[in-house]
Chain A
Amino acid sequence: MARYIMQRIFYLLITLFLIATISFFLMKLLPGTPLTAEDKLSEEQREIILEKYGLNDPEPIQYVNYLGRLVQGDLGISFQFDNRGVTQILMNRIGPSAQLGVQALVIGTILGILLGLLAAINHTGFLDYGSTFVAVMGKSIPSFVFAGLLQYFVGVKLGWLPVALWDGFEYSILPSIALMIFPLATAARFTRTEMLEVLGSDYITTARAKGVNELGVVFKHGLRNALIPLVTIIGPLAVSLMTGTLVIEQIFAVPGLGEQFVSSVMTNDFPVIMGTTLLFAFLFVVIILIIDLLYGVIDPRIRLAGGDK
């Protein structure tokens, strides 16, 4: 097990290295420099700044320097904010994003599983069609539409919750809801399909033949088996949430990573863009790793297959 985790961490580092490399060269392909928007600077001033940040060096040298700093844990200094380290900027920004992401993923997935369960138990009944309707809406309508609707109705018309900004828990509710619609819908559809299949399997009949009641059949025998495939999609869901935050944070003016990322792209702030990309990539590979380990917890067949070696 320990060996497996070490191996996975090694692969994780390789992945991050590749992503760092690709994002570095993609940055270089972008038109313009961080100073493009600064039209008040004279030609000389530009030269001084470019020289200072090493942007006049040939690209391979820039790349080697970048990697060298990266290995030491230094993500560079932002162009946009004077003399502020990228690490520091990201640290300030990660809190709101993490809170939104976790709230949306956890609550969305749990609600989705419950909705899917209800649909499966009530197969071809009212609840089934109801949850299918919710799921199709959730999957096909983009989150920014929901965001706008929530802001208008809940925030403005009803005035129950703040429309935007970030100043305490109640500010996180609307963006979390807008974000969680997609994972909720996906989890609901998935759980329904899996649960229907599991409920039709032989061991469920065995359980019924033992005299287990419906509740026991669904939760004790059904749910765990239906959850195994569901774990697989939590990774991609987490990723879709990360990309979702780019838009949602912008709409709700949440000072998170996503909003930072968007404004950095607008200003060609290379170090921040690359730092954010790396952070997203890092979070993604870590989530995948956790999910792979989670498989073993839920499914004894996978756990023991690894343990035997």
Chain B
Amino acid sequence: MENMLEVKNLKVSFDTHNGEVQAVRGVNFNLKKGETLAIVGESGSGKSVTTKALMRLLPKPHGYIKEGEILFEGMDLVKQSNKQMQKLRGKDISMIFQDPMTSLNPTMKVGNQIMESLIKHQKMSRGQAKKRAIELLHLVQIPNPELRVNQFPHQFSGGMRQRVVIAIALACNPKVLIADEPTTALDVTIQAEILDLMKDIQKEMDTSIIFITHDLGVVANVADRVAVMYAGKIVEIGSVDDVFYNPKHPYTWGLLGSMPTLDSEEAELFAIPGTPPDLLNPPEGDAFSSRNQFALEIDFKEEPPMFQVSETHFAATWLLHEYAPNIEPPASVKKRMRGIASTASGPKGDEQ
């Protein structure tokens, strides 16, 4: 399959009063046509910043791309002019945001907000664009689209607003859709509806999706591949099965282990000890080493390279080095992994 998007050694920094914060420190991944790549990681790991950089929507003037390439159909987005990016945004690459309550303009009719990119990118007349907007509202399963198209965002519920946001993102049939925690602000039943909707639409349009989340249950439900980010780097990347059933990086173990499952009996939730490193002064060696109970001596001195586990599975941990001791994930994590596997396979099984 062809690569829609190829990110090579992407580095993003923010200039602050205290100095340069290295939010993304050399990220590599690719996105194939029609696939869903989930990026997971805790707050501050650089997932959102990475995708904002893809759209060149980093907050100005403090955020900037320091290094790297973002190849979209072979074109390096880092080198494009602002004008060029404006033509691309909303047409080839669009974005769905986290909070539907704030991501729609409160003083503009929903229809106009959808029509805007149609008129801009596809040179439609207002009449055509309105027709298409109604179709899009229908596509995202909003009842009475003819009536709703003339309403304002405050007349919609949270879930309905997120459908509108999705309709805006889909308006020009984008090749890449970036969803930045699209279900985090919604309650669980609405979450499931929105996820189903996104999956249906992806099937219909063959869009590539980058799905940012910190909810591993959601990942198991929607993604083909998973990238785990920590301290501005991808520490493990592979297919959902690779990462969920055969995780290699201790941080991934920690993430999987701290996820509650329906049948867990422990009263207390597991948490990864410590806090993420300060990206103003990134630590030497593996950024996770100080929180890692399995850390080797070399972890504190040298950064691990990406080790290949299988054809699709890569992880950056010295534990995969041929001289490293053979360490298995802790038993409690293994148990939870089984639990996640059973929760995760549920919805997937229903689907087929």
Contact = CB atoms under 8 A, between A and B. Distances in A.
Contacts of A213: 86
A52 interface: no
A221 interface: yes
Interface in A184-236: 201-203, 205-213, 220-221, 224-225, 228
A208 B104 CA distance: 12
A139 to B, nearest CB: 28
Contacts of A221: 105, 108
A309 interface: no
Contacts of B103: 202-203, 205-206
Interface residues on B, range: 20 to 34
Interface string A233-272: 0000000000000000000000000000000000000000
Given A211-B117, A301-B154, A304-B155, A206 B89 contact: no
Contact of B88 (A202, A211, A225, A298): A211
A206 B107 CA distance: 14
A21 B93 CA distance: 67
Interface string A77-106: 000000000000000000000000000000
Contacts of B102: 201-203
B94 interface: yes
B91 A211 contact: yes
B182 interface: no
Interface in B85-131: 86-91, 94-95, 97, 99, 102-108, 113, 116-117, 120-121
A209 B107 contact: no
Interface in A3-35: none
A304 B105 contact: no
B221 to A, nearest CB: 25
Contacts of A304: 152, 154-155
A170 interface: no
Contact of B168 (A201, A206, A225, A228): A206
A211 B105 contact: no
A209 B95 contact: yes
A211 B90 contact: yes
A153 B199 CA distance: 71
Contact of B116 (A210, A225, A300, A301): A210
Given A202-B99, A205-B57, A210 B106 contact: no
A298 B107 contact: yes
B137 interface: no
Contacts of B97: 202, 205-206, 209
A210 B107 contact: no
B228 interface: no
A212 B106 contact: no
A203 B87 CA distance: 19
A47 interface: no
Contacts of B88: 211
Interface residues on A, range: 20 to 34
Interface in B182-219: none
B55 interface: yes
B165 interface: yes
Contacts of A211: 86-91, 117, 120-121
Interface centre among A211, A300, A304, by most chain B C-beta atoms within 10 angstroms, is: A211
B120 A210 contact: yes
A225 B113 CA distance: 15
Given A206-B97, A208-B57, A301 B106 contact: yes
B117 A225 contact: no
Contacts of A206: 95, 97, 103-105, 113, 165, 168
B101 to A, nearest CB: 9
Contacts of B57: 205, 208-209
Contacts of A57: none
A299 interface: yes
Contact of A203 (B105, B117, B154): B105
Contacts of B94: 209-210
A224 B105 CA distance: 10
Given A224-B107, A299-B107, A301-B106, A210 B89 contact: yes
Interface string B41-74: 0000000000000010100000000000000000
A219 to B, nearest CB: 12
Interface string A282-304: 00000000000000001111001
Nearest to A227: B107
Nearest to A213: B86
Nearest to A206: B103
Given A300-B152, A300-B154, A210 B117 contact: yes
A228 to B, nearest CB: 8
A208 B168 CA distance: 12
A301 B154 CA distance: 7
B152 A301 contact: yes
Contacts of A300: 106-107, 152, 154
B16 to A, nearest CB: 14
Contact of B90 (A209, A220, A225, A228): A209
A159 to B, nearest CB: 46
Contacts of B120: 210-212
Contacts of B86: 211-213
B50 to A, nearest CB: 15
B161 to A, nearest CB: 11
Given A210-B117, A211-B117, A225 B89 contact: no
Given A201-B102, A211-B88, A225-B105, 11 more contacts: A203-B104, A206-B104, A206-B113, A206-B168, A212-B90, A212-B116, A221-B108, A224-B107, A224-B108, A300-B154, A301-B152
Interface of B: 55, 57, 86-91, 94-95, 97, 99, 102-108, 113, 116-117, 120-121, 152, 154-155, 165, 168-169
Nearest 6 pairs of A and B residues by beta carbon: A211-B90, A210-B90, A211-B89, A202-B102, A202-B103, A210-B117
10 contacts: A202-B97, A203-B105, A210-B89, A211-B86, A211-B121, A213-B86, A299-B106, A299-B107, A300-B154, A304-B154
